[in-house]
Amino acid sequence: MNETAVKRPVTPGVRLGHASFVWRPWMVLVTLLLAAAAFLVFCLSIGTGDFPIGLPQVIATLFGQGERVDEFVIMDLRLPRALAGLVVGIALGVSGAITQSIARNPLASPDVLGITGGASAVAVFLVTVSGGAAAAIVDSVGLSAAALAGGLGTGLLVYFLAWRRGIDGLRLILIGISVSAVTEAITIWLLVTADIRDVARAQAWLVGSLDDRSWGEVWVALWCALALMAVVSCVAFQLRPLHFGDEVAAGLGVRYSMVRAVLLLCAVLLAGVAVSAAGPVPFVALVAPQVAMRLSRYPTPPLVASGLVGALLLIGADLVARTALPVSLPVGVVTAAIGGPFLVYLLVRANLKK
């Protein structure tokens, strides 16, 4: 063995008590910039509307020092919507980053695990099969809650069907795809047999929207998301070794079955919370981790940056949907219209650079 061939690590480590991590200046810079951009778009979104409010006033009001008129407009009318966008975006981004990391496949978004499909099938069922028990359920529980239950139920079903002396990434994804296919077939069949007016309502729900968020819904989503994030941040540092395979991870002291189960459960719940708050907004969970990965020049989807890109995408799309377009479109249409080309742009640019 040649001594000179052994290279020192390029990135220096930092140690704080028992915790140690690698100092990655570029990654930190990108994350900070993304956070700043997300905050800026968040404030812009709050300031924009029939009663426009300047950026400084928005920020002052958010920190409790605004005028009374602004305070009413912002706190009662605009903040719930913007906050819902923030929570849903972050939840989808983090959820996508976790599933893509665990499955080691960039196409593995939480949609693949059946959450979206299950939630959509339940919602479409309630919308199209009118009268009787369904109407009673919609009135008492609310469509979002029923959809959340459907999504989580399907997610857990996928998890238990895929469990066979542990969870294997490919088996989980393939079972997820097959369960999603069934729920999508049920949705299609419900749409084919339903009345066309109900179909339009169902279709609007199926695209995802941030319209008419109330504080009640936002608080529920916010606290659930915060609790889940807390769990994720306690376990997430063990995610990276999983990329090297189970044997290596075990050798590095990771209890991989445990870590994977906890993180997957969190990913399913986060996606479920997002679906219940905004409907099945497509694509954010797929595109946000891929964009974050490429911006931060990191080999695997980084969790924090993915969440921030998700929030940026969702709030930005909502802003565009409300202001720039002649017709009002659900936010899901715009996330796909912005996110799809941006992902393609990043891919093409990376290919040109090589």
Partner 1 sequence: MSTTLEKRPTSEVTGVHRRRVAGLGALSVVLLVAGAVSLAVGARGLSLAEVWQGLFPEPGSDQRLTEIALIVQTVRVPRTVLAIVAGVALGVSGALIQGYTRNPIADTGLLGVNSGASFAVVSVILLFGLANPYQYVWFAFLGAAAAGAVVFGLASIGRGAGSPLTLALAGQGVAVFLAAMTTAVALSDQASLNALRFWNAGTVAGVGFDVIRPVAAFVVAGLLLALTTLPAINLLNLGDDVARGLGVNITRTRTVGIVAITLLAGATTAACGPIAFLGLMVAHVARYLTGPDYRWLVPCAGLLGAVILLVCDIVGRVVTRPGELQAGVVVAVVGAPFFAALVWRGKFKTV
Please give the residue ranges that form the binding site for partner 1 (CB under 8 A). 105-108, 112, 161-162, 164, 170-171, 173-175, 177-179, 181-182, 184-186, 188-189, 191-192, 196, 199-200, 203-204, 206-207, 282-283, 286-287, 290, 327, 329-330, 332-337, 339-341, 343-344, 347-348, 350-354
- Give the per-residue SS3 of the chain: CCHHHCCCCCCCEEEECCEEEECCHHHHHHHHHHHHHHHHHHHHHHHCCCCCCCHHHHHHHHCCCCCHHHHHHHHHHHHHHHHHHHHHHHHHHHHHHHHHHHHCCCCCCHHHHCHHHHHHHHHHHHHHCCCHHHHHHHHHHCHHHHHHHHHHHHHHHHHHHHCCCCCCHHHHHHHHHHHHHHHHHHHHHHHHHCCHHHHHHHHHHHHCCCCCCCHHHHHHHHHHHHHHHHHHHHHHHHHHHHCCCHHHHHHCCCCHHHHHHHHHHHHHHHHHHHHHHHCCCCCHHHHHHHHHHHHCCCCCCCHHHHHHHHHHHHHHHHHHHHHCCCCCCCHHHHHHHHHHHHHHHHHHHHHHHC
The nearest distance, CB 199 to partner 1, in angstroms, is 6
Considering the complex, state which of residue 43 and residue 162 has its C-beta at the smaller distance from partner 1.
162
Considering the complex, state which of residue 69 and residue 185 has its C-beta at the smaller distance from partner 1.
185
Considering the complex, state which of residue 199 and residue 305 has its C-beta at the smaller distance from partner 1.
199
The nearest distance, CB 337 to partner 1, in angstroms, is 6
Considering the complex, state which of residue 135 and residue 348 has its C-beta at the smaller distance from partner 1.
348
The nearest distance, CB 206 to partner 1, in angstroms, is 8
The nearest distance, CB 137 to partner 1, in angstroms, is 24
Considering the complex, state which of residue 170 and residue 250 has its C-beta at the smaller distance from partner 1.
170
Rounded to an integer, what distance in angstroms lies between the CA atom of residue 333 and that of residue 321? 9
Considering the complex, state which of residue 53 and residue 317 has its C-beta at the smaller distance from partner 1.
317
The nearest distance, CB 105 to partner 1, in angstroms, is 6
Considering the complex, state which of residue 206 and residue 263 has its C-beta at the smaller distance from partner 1.
206
Q: Within a 10 A sphere around the Cβ of 13, how many other Cβ atoms?
A: 9
Considering the complex, state which of residue 133 and residue 352 has its C-beta at the smaller distance from partner 1.
352
Considering the complex, state which of residue 130 and residue 193 has its C-beta at the smaller distance from partner 1.
193
Comparing CA positions, the residue from 330, 337, 335 lying closest to residue 310 is: 335
Rounded to an integer, what distance in angstroms lies between the CA atom of residue 68 and that of residue 65? 9
The nearest distance, CB 354 to partner 1, in angstroms, is 5
Contact 268, 155 (CB under 8 A): yes
The nearest distance, CB 103 to partner 1, in angstroms, is 8
The nearest distance, CB 343 to partner 1, in angstroms, is 4
The nearest distance, CB 325 to partner 1, in angstroms, is 9
